[in-house]
Homo-oligomer: A and B are copies of this chain.
Amino acid sequence: MTQNPVKPVHGWRRTLHEIIFEADTPAGRLFDIILIIAILFSVLVVLLDSVTTVRMRYAGLLFTLEWLFTLLFTVEYILRLLCVLRPAAYARSFFGVVDLLAILPTWATLLLPGTHYLAVVRLLRVLRIFRVLKLAQYVSEARHLIRALRDSRRKILVFLLAVLSLVTIFGTLMYVIEGEKYGFTSIPRSMYWAVVTLTTVGYGDISPGTPLGQGIASFIMLLGYGIIAVPTGIVTSALVRPRPVSTQACPACGRDGHDVDAVHCKYCGTAL
C-alpha cells in the first residue's frame, strides 16, 4: 500500500477517499467498523448456507441476506472505483481483485443458475478483513511480522526442502516395510502418512502395524518433535534481531550493511 502511486484527488472524491480508504477521521473509522461487521455477517451467511439443515429451513432468509450484502459490497466497490485517481490500477491490485471476487459469484448466479462451486469463492470475502488492519497500530505490527518472515524465507525454504526429502525417504521406507496390509498402498500415500507423522498431526487413519514400522515411526516422531525447533528458531531469531543495519550505502564504494551508528564506511573509510 505504501508504494501506491495514486495522488490524492480533490473535492467530494477526496472526502470519499478519506472515508473509504483511510481510518484517521471519525467518518473513516465508522466506515471501517461497519464494513468489518458486514464482512463477518456475510461470511456467516455463506457458512450457514452450506449446512444442509439450516439451508432447508431458512433458504429464503439466507437468499435475501446474501443479496443485501452483495448489493452493499457492489455499491462500495463502485464508490472505491470512483474515488481513486487511477481506477484501473485499483481494480488490478490485490484487494481490488478480492473486492470483485466477493460480489461476482452472486451476480453470476443470475446468468448461470446452480453455480454451486462458484459460490464458495464468496468466502474470499474473509480476506477483506485485512483492510481493517490499517486501523490503529496494527499496520506496523503486521509489517514487523511480515518482514521477519520475509527475512527468514531462504532459511525456511532450505528447511522445507530438507523436510520434503525426509518425507520422501521415510515414506518410501515405510511403503517397503509396512506394505499394503497396513494401508501403505502407494509411495504418495506413504509420504502423506510421513507428513502426518513428522508434523505431529497424527490422524491415525494410517498407522504402522509391524514392530519395525513402529520403531521407524517412533524415530520420525522424535525427529519431527525435535526439528520443529528449526523454523521456530529461524522466526524467533528474525523477530528478536538485535542490531538493525543501516540501509545507507557508502557514497564512495557503494557497499552497504553499515551499523546505524557508523560515521565512516567500514570498508573504505569515507565519511557516510
Contact = CB atoms under 8 A, between A and B. Distances in A.
Interface of A: 43, 46-48, 50-52, 117, 120, 123-124, 126-127, 129-130, 133, 137-138, 141-142, 144-145, 148-149, 154-161, 163-165, 168-169, 172-173, 175-176, 185-189, 191-192, 195-205, 207, 211, 214-215, 217-218, 221-222, 224-226, 228-240, 242-243, 258-259, 261-271
Given A231-B225, A233-B239, A205 B205 contact: no
A186 B50 contact: yes
5 contacts: A120-B175, A141-B155, A196-B218, A200-B202, A228-B232
A243 B240 contact: no
B50 A188 contact: yes
Copies in the assembly, this chain = 4
A131 B83 CA distance: 52
A167 to B, nearest CB: 8
A217 B202 CA distance: 12
A154 B133 CA distance: 10
A161 B141 CA distance: 13
A169 B130 CA distance: 14
Contact of A266 (B46, B199, B266): B266
Nearest to A44: B188
B229 A236 contact: yes
- Report whether over half of chain A's contact residues are helix, strand or loop; otherwise say mixed: helix
Contacts of A198: 225
Nearest to A225: B199
Most B CB contacts (10 A, CB to CB) among A165, A186, A197 go to A186
Given A165-B129, A230-B145, A207 B205 contact: yes
A205 B209 CA distance: 10
Contacts of A130: 161, 165
Contacts of A243: 242-243
Contacts of A258: 266
Given A163-B222, A192-B214, A221-B195, A168 B236 contact: no
Most B CB contacts (10 A, CB to CB) among A156, A169, A199, A264 go to A199
Contacts of A126: 164-165, 168-169
B160 A141 contact: no
Nearest to A189: B214
A155 B240 CA distance: 14
A222 B199 contact: yes
